[in-house]
Amino acid sequence: MLAYKATAGRPKVVSKWDVGYFAIPSPVTLDSGSPATDEGEVESWVRVTDDLQNKPLEMRVLYGGKGDVTVKSLAIERER
């Protein structure tokens, strides 16, 4: 779960987020989104295949260069 606050002069997308395996030869994006100017949470459930199980999972916030974005918290939980 990603809790965020994004501000700008008018409603617009100030950042994007994605979760996946990016530090491997063939990067894999499992989910992504673009929170608009606001405050809220993004929750994403992804299924990891056996071939990716021992690879480093990453969650990235990609800042667009306008407005402000604050990552309030980030939680990656493993469920079996």
Task: Give me the residue spans of the domains in the chain.
Answer: 2-74
HEC secondary structure over 8-28:
CCCCCECEEEEEEECCCCCCE
- Measure the CA angle with vertex 1, ends 26 and 52; round to 5°: 25
The pLDDT, as a whole number, for residue 36 is 65
Q: Rounded to an integer, what distance in angstroms lies between the CA atom of residue 53 and that of residue 78?
A: 11
Low-confidence ranges of the chain (pLDDT < 50): none
**Look-up: residue for tokens 């979760």?**
19
pLDDT tens sequence across 46-57? 888 888 888 998
Write phi, then psi, for 52 (nearest 5 degrees).
Answer: -105, 0
